Homo-oligomer: A and B are copies of this chain.
Amino acid sequence: MSPEPKPGTPYLSLDTPALLLDLDAFNHNVRLMAQFFAGRPTALRPHAKTHKCPEIARRQLDAGAIGITCAKLGEAEVMVEAGIDDILIANQVVGALKIDRLTDLAARSRTMVAVDDAANVEQLSAACQAKGVTLRILVEVDIGMHRCGVLPGQAALELAQKVAQAPGLQLAGLMGYEGHLVQIRDPQDRQTKVLEALRPLQDTRDLLERNGLPVEIVSGGGTGTYDVSGTNPPMTEIEAGSYVFMDSTYRQTRPEFEQALYILSTVVSRPTPERVVTDAGRKTISNDFGFPVPLGAPGATIKSLSEEHGLLTLADPDAVSLRPGEKMRFVPSHCCTTTNLHDQLYVIQDQTLVGIWPIAARGRAQ
């Protein structure tokens, strides 16, 4: 590895491929989302699966977030280790090994977890009883994404009743994620569909409360829907994640947030005037939602992305330099899976390096 670059290093002198964070854009995004939720009844619990970086989680909390969301138990462990206390694991935690770790975590943090299965509730309860800890639980309701979650209404009520009666568990509320709607381009269409999706969640909340069950928390929402889910019942907290970084996909629906995440890459070959080959391929930039977008190279389009190469075609070869050794930036099509390929963020302000933030939960998929 190259020696760790010092603060003040021009970003174009960094070794590549490197994951860059534009600090001003990042600060704008953190501030804008915090301002949106300031003074509202609904709070922000940003999803840390996007960044997996305790430094970013701390900054989100400092700006007013009430806690963070994690996708995986392993991410939550890293965050608790870094001193972050209030965490929702927005997934089911299943199996003896993980339940043992989860109850350890609940003993030293305010950790919540989602459930959608009665047997899982019994296992969590038994483990909590054995350790003398209390674990806060959200019942996950399927509000149309058709991934995890019980059906709204009676099924959710029955599982919530089971949680409420289970020793060691505390029913904290509901979770419902409109993940199938977050990327709808048209704002009006998106709003209509989100409001439709929230209705059965609201009905479920009402049903639980009519049955004497407390619903302190209703958690869901994303960067694509925060302004609808965050301003309408029944959500009490929004799990948006991508807004801190953004990507070429979300920028098309959410222009109010700035692009803060880039891949810095080096041209390694220019075999013909039309062809440029860079050192950033699929092991560096994810391809979930299409190719990354090259910047500063008019007429350049990605032709293919192999493991360690980006292959670009130039419409006007004379318009750009791009000799081997020159650097260029790319905007990823999906920030979350791109970040998971890297161990650190190179934080840039005024074209120079101002910090290196470890992506401490990178790869913590267990």
- Chain A residues within 8 Å of B, Cβ to Cβ: 1-2, 15-18, 49, 71-72, 74, 77, 91-92, 94-95, 97-98, 101, 116-117, 119-120, 123, 142, 146-151, 179, 266-271, 275, 277, 279-280, 282-284, 286-288, 306-309, 311, 323-325, 336-337, 340-343, 362-366
Contacts and interface: CB of A to CB of B under 8 A. Distances in A.
What copy number does this chain have within its complex?
A: 2
B366 A71 contact: no
A153 B360 CA distance: 49
Contact of A268 (B92, B97, B142, B324): B92
Nearest to A364: B1
Contacts of A94: 266-268, 279, 324-325
24 contacts: A1-B74, A1-B364, A2-B101, A2-B366, A18-B366, A72-B308, A92-B324, A94-B279, A120-B324, A147-B271, A148-B268, A148-B271, A149-B271, A279-B365, A282-B286, A282-B288, A283-B340, A283-B363, A283-B365, A308-B365, A341-B341, A341-B365, A343-B363, A362-B363
A158 to B, nearest CB: 14
Given A2-B366, A282-B288, A308 B148 contact: no
Contacts of A362: 363
Q: Which 9 A-B pairs have the closest CB atoms?
A: A148-B269, A92-B268, A2-B97, A15-B97, A71-B308, A94-B268, A283-B340, A117-B324, A94-B324
A270 to B, nearest CB: 7
